Amino acid sequence: MTFSERLIDFNKEHRVISHLSFWLLLLLIQLSSSSYYNYDQVPFKNNLVGDGTNLLAQIPASYVLAYFIVPKFFYKQRYIEAFIYFIISSYIICVLSRFEVVYFEEPFYGKPRNFHETPAEILTDIPKLAYVYFFRIFSVAFIFTFLKLLKDQLLIQKRTLSLEKEKAETELKLLKTQLNPHFLFNTLNNIYSLSISNSPVTSASIGRLSEILDYILYRCNNLLVPIAGEIALLNNYIELEKLRYDKRLIINFNINIDHEIEIPPLIMLSVVENAFKHGASDDIGNPVINIDLTVIDHVFTFAVSNSYRPQPINDITENIGLPNLKQQLELIYPKNHTLVIERTESLFTVTLTIDLMIL
């Protein structure tokens, strides 16, 4: 968790304390500034009263602007109303602050009240209210509002990321339920046939199927998983699929990884499963499946090509895993991935590239 996230969580859980801490910190900063500029010419109690009463005007100005004008009018694009309420509230706060200075602060300093400045003059002395009081009061209000808007934006981003993660996890659970049932059915039949003939690969086949189910059901529940587990899953899947074919099926699986990375689970399995479905199972000749996996300089590339029986493009249907895969990639890597699907008369190729350095 970042420092900003900790601050936001603390503010959410201890709202009153966080607001009091902000204003206390601001008062200390103003006192420090006043003491620096006035040196020892002004007593500390005078600085405390002056800065304290100044803070009493800055607090309502900040809350009116941040919690009333901006959310109720500016956010709703009611700009004229927002401007009118801002002018009215600014005028009222500045006038009250001037009354406080004339009738409380200056007498506290021992200065005689300026009897020439009547309430009517205070109400109508716009230049003094603007240049002396407005900028002093609302400079803090603008900073306070900016911090609140920044906090709100961070909360929106955090909530959006949380929703996207939940959606991605939901899609992942859906993808886990979409492992081709024909694969399970055919694999079980093949293992049954092996057991009848007392084949020495029977136990190994059962072990591979058990590892696949264990991995899919229990070991890929996170949004990202180590690529080593995904490679082991592919190897087990390929070996079990080979049971359905004789030596006429050619599979080339090339791996070139310069460092360990984490990727979304099952994305490679979806592509390979699609290759077997539309390549090996539909091909009446000598089917070939080429799988190339590379990770170089944080760039993940996974290319799978399979031969298939020539047919009209309109008759080619994609496995349900590919559309699901596209949705997964859009959720997790919306701006740093490419998924290219190419068809020729006899070759179907899917190439997935992810730049893991781009957030």
> What is the per-residue pLDDT for 314?
46
In this structure, what DSSP letter does residue 69 have?
Answer: I
Give the Cα separation of 185 and 206 in Å (integer): 13
Report residue 310 as tokens: 């020539």
Strand partners, 339: 352
Give the Cα separation of 129 and 205 in Å (integer): 86
Does residue 147 surpass a pLDDT of 70? yes
Spatial contact of 177 and 220, defined as CB atoms under 8 Å apart:
no
pTM over 0.85: no
Does residue 286 surpass a pLDDT of 60? yes
**What Rg, from alpha-carbon coordinates, does the chain have?**
35
Question: 111-141 b/e with 16+ CB inside 10 Å = b?
Answer: eeeeeeeeeeebeeeeeebeeebbeebbebb
Does residue 312 surpass a pLDDT of 60? no
pLDDT digits (tens, 9 = 90+) for 182-222: 677 778 888 888 888 888 888 989 999 999 888 888 888 78
Coil, strand or helix at 223: coil
> What is the per-residue pLDDT for 88?
93
Closest among 24, 21, 7, 27 to 150, alpha carbons compared:
7
Closest among 356, 354, 320 to 340, alpha carbons compared:
354
Coil, strand or helix at 340: strand
Enumerate domains of the chain plus CATH numbers: 3-163 (no CATH), 177-355 (3.30.565.10)
Closest among 276, 344, 350, 346 to 310, alpha carbons compared:
346
